[in-house]
Structure 1
Amino acid sequence: MQLLERDIPLTSAEISQLWVTYMNDSAAICHLEHELNIVEDNEIKSILQYVLKVSQSHINSVVEIFNKENHPIPHGFKLSEDVDVTAPRLFTDKYYLNTLNQLGKIGLNNYSLAVSLVAREDIYHFFSTCLNESDKIIKWTNDVLLSKGLYVRPPQLPKAESFDYVTKQSFLTGYFGERRPLTATEIAHLYANFQRNALGSATMMGYSQVAKDKDVVQYFIKGKEIAQKHCAIFESYLKENDLPSPMMLDSEVTDSTIYTFSDKKMTFYSSTLTAVSLGYYGTGMSMSPRRDLGVMYSRLMAEVAKFADNGAKLMIKHGWMEAPPQAADRDELTNN
């Protein structure tokens, strides 16, 4: 007898991916509702409207699935608690467009992982749809960035006359003596990580201006300093090979100090971006044969991991960290 879909319980992987989606999209809705109130560029406004519609549909789908499974709905983030949609502009339209582009790329990574982890047909269909939506967001924002002359293309390389093989062990070195030029893959990751940190620096700067708690303000200031430091490191490797680096985005932050987002929502969003950067750094390290680059990424990952740990401690201290779904504590059940 074939089991009906409703008779197949959700796996831990499916529950976790649905939970993360709910948390991320409920936080994104707070941003999007505020941005739609003040965005001036109609092309960017159209993308914001689409992304808001997508995030709201994700929330509705997760709630429907969890209700059918009698699974508790996360609290997440609420418009009534975590944002003042009438607050003055904190970032420019250019920042919004670049953020939407990066969110599409993050969504592509997250949902491709989810698709690889889930099996139940309705859950697979949901995340497959999410994956296609992220692809659309990336393509749409790329087109608008290009049309406005804001798309920053990675460096171009001279055309190779033929393929070649590596014949010297020096291809892997990088600590002493003459270092070989960067490979195209190494350049791509250095460039992309610079762009993500440039956006992170602007985000932390803006958040530090409107945060209320002193500890939270200092956390964002530290995050801005780390992002700027990492940009300088990535830029130094590019300059060493006479390659250009992207522009910083700190000028896209306004001088507003008016309450815009709750400290809880901003800290959660920053922690999420920090966790994502660890994954990107790990990928950059695995794709960089030159040993000095591997050591560099390892060192930066340790710094980012410490910053993420401080963010988690900050959220626990203020009672902001919502516990994700967990396995049963058998020792506690036995004692009770």
Structure 2
Amino acid sequence: MGKIYLTSNEIGTMWTQYIQNSLYIQILKYFIETVEDNKIKELIQDSLILSERINNEIKSVFEHEDIPIPHGFNDQDVNLKAEKLFLDPFMIQFLEHTLKAGVIAHGSTLIVSTRKDIRQFFTETTEDSLRLFNKCTDLALSKGLLVRAPSIKVQPDIEYVEKKKYMSSFSNRPLNMVEITHLFENIKTNTVGEMITMAFAQTTNNDTVKKFMNRGLKISQKHIRIFQKTIKESYIDAPIGSNSYVTNSKNRVFSDKLMMHFLSVLTAAGQGNYSTASTASLRNDLILSYQRLAAEIAGYAKDGADIMIEHGWLEEPPQAPDRKQLITD
């Protein structure tokens, strides 16, 4: 049997994971330098070890297959001597967010891969990410830092939708559990985005980046208000996370390249979350709201990509050969 080459799926997903893990590695290194709680520090160290192991494996595979190793991010993109920018509770929220994303990313790579060694590796990393996510959730619960979804008593009987009024924007029916789930999760993710853009805005000396971060901060705050209002209209207490886990430090911690790329990751995740929520919701007003807000994020993401291209911060993914050029040359 001849050599089994990597597929485009395997190359593309591993390339993306390498870039994103190289970014997380720098953030986690900084967290280790500034964290005060030993239990949280242990969780950060475990997450750092996992991210480094994933990137070392991807690097090894790419070298063996003669695929260029992405530049990604390195020690030049973080100032480990900078004073504390994020309080410890934020670090748990950050880990909860990134570990969720990791489970999805590793699982996605697994299900689009065909080579046995690649499937085996991402089976293991998915399991490791799940283990760390559970550890993170248990730690947050023990410290009273987990923002929990509302506890609601549901209707006693199974029912079917009998009238189109159920989906109407004007029915004023109570939210169902699926709709509440997505509203709640989108409040949580926007709260993380709110704190990140706030921290990045106050620590960059690049006016363009600062303006972009301030714009992202306002978008996050606006979306949080919209989702909270929707929940409250059904007489349900809207989850309120703290946005006060950012210190007053103005010392630069991360490079502008890293901060801009991280925002591109967050906006892409936000668009995916809103698309999923729109599909799962049955009230037309919710569907339209998610679509409108997703369009706003898409415009923001486009402007962010333009800034990265202008400054030479956007690394190109591996591309297929340009056959037209090969034929005409």
TM-score by length of 1: 0.96
Query: Given residue 91 of structure 1, which amino acid in structure 2 is its aligned partner?
Result: F
The equivalent of 1:88 in structure 2 is 83
> Displacement, 1:86?
1.0
Name the structure 2 match of 1:155: 150
Distance in structure 2 (CA, Å) of the matches to 1:42 and 1:219: 35
Residues 294-309 of structure 1 aligned to structure 2 (within 5 Å): 294-309=287-302
Q: Where does residue 331 of structure 1 map in the other structure?
A: 324
What's the counterpart of residue 248 of structure 2? 255
Query: Cα offset for 1:248?
Result: 3.8
**Partner of residue 114 from structure 1, selected from 109, 115, 118:** 109
CA contact (8 A) 2:147 2:241 kept: no
Q: Does residue 68 of structure 1 match 2:64? A: yes
Aligned residue among 54, 59, 63 for 1:58: 54
Contact 1:101 1:137 in 2 (8 A): no
What's 1:185 paired with? Answer: 178
Tell me how many residue pairs correspond in the alignment. Answer: 329
Q: CA deviation at 1:21?
A: 1.0
Q: Secondary structure at the match of 2:47?
A: helix
- Deviation by residue 1:198-225 (Cα, 9 ceiling, x = unmatched): 1100000000011121101101100010
CA contact (8 A) 1:186 1:284 kept: yes
Query: Which of 155, 161, 169 in structure 1 is aligned with 2:164?
Result: 169
Shift of 1:331: 2.2
1:138 is matched by which residue type in structure 2?
Answer: F
Aligned with 1:246 (options 225, 239, 245): 239
- The Cα shift of 1:334 comes to 2.7
Aligned mates of 1:204, 1:140 — CA distance in 2: 27
The CA distance in 2 between the partners of 1:300 and 1:195, in whole Å, is 16
State the shift of 1:333 in Å: 2.2
Provide the residue aligned with 2:303 in structure 1. Answer: 310
Give the deviation of 1:116 after TM superposition: 1.4
* Distance across 2 between alignment mates of 1:157 and 1:332: 61
Shift of 1:280: 0.7
Code of the aligned partner of 1:309: K
Partner of residue 5, structure 2: 9
SS at match of 2:244: helix
Aligned-residue CA RMSD (Å)? 1.0
Shift of 1:47: 0.3
- Matched with 2:21 is 25
CA distance in 2, matches of 1:73, 1:232: 42
Unaligned runs of 5+ in 1: none
In the alignment, is the contact (CA less than 8 A) between 1:312 and 1:321 conserved in 2? yes
Paired with 2:137 and 2:305, the residues of 1 have a C-alpha distance of 33
Out of 309, 315, 318, which is 1:322 matched to?
Answer: 315
Q: Distance in 1 between matches of 2:154 and 2:71?
A: 53
Of 244-253 and 91-100, more deviation after overlay is shown by 244-253
Map of 1:205 onto structure 2: 198
Partner amino acid, structure 1, of 2:187: F
The runs of at least 4 aligned residues of structure 1 exceeding 6 Å deviation read: none
* 1:141 pairs with 2:168: no
* Cα distance in 2 between the residues matched to 1:257 and 1:188: 36
Taking the aligned partners of 1:257 and 1:53, their CA distance within structure 2 comes to 29
Deviation at 1:332, TM superposition (A): 2.3
Contact in 2 for aligned 1:87/1:260 (Cα 8 Å): yes
**Which of the numbers 116, 124, 129 marks the counterpart of 2:124?**
129
* Alpha-carbon distance between aligned partners in 2 of 1:136 and 1:327, rounded to the nearest angstrom: 36
- Please tell me whether residue 103 in structure 1 is matched to residue 73 in structure 2: no
Which is worse superposed, 186-195 or 112-121? 112-121
Pairwise mapping of residues 207-286 of structure 1 onto structure 2 (< 5 A)?
207-286=200-279
Sequence identity, in percent?
37
Q: State the 1:36 CA deviation.
A: 0.2
In the TM superposition, residue 173 of structure 1 has moved relative to its aligned partner by 0.6
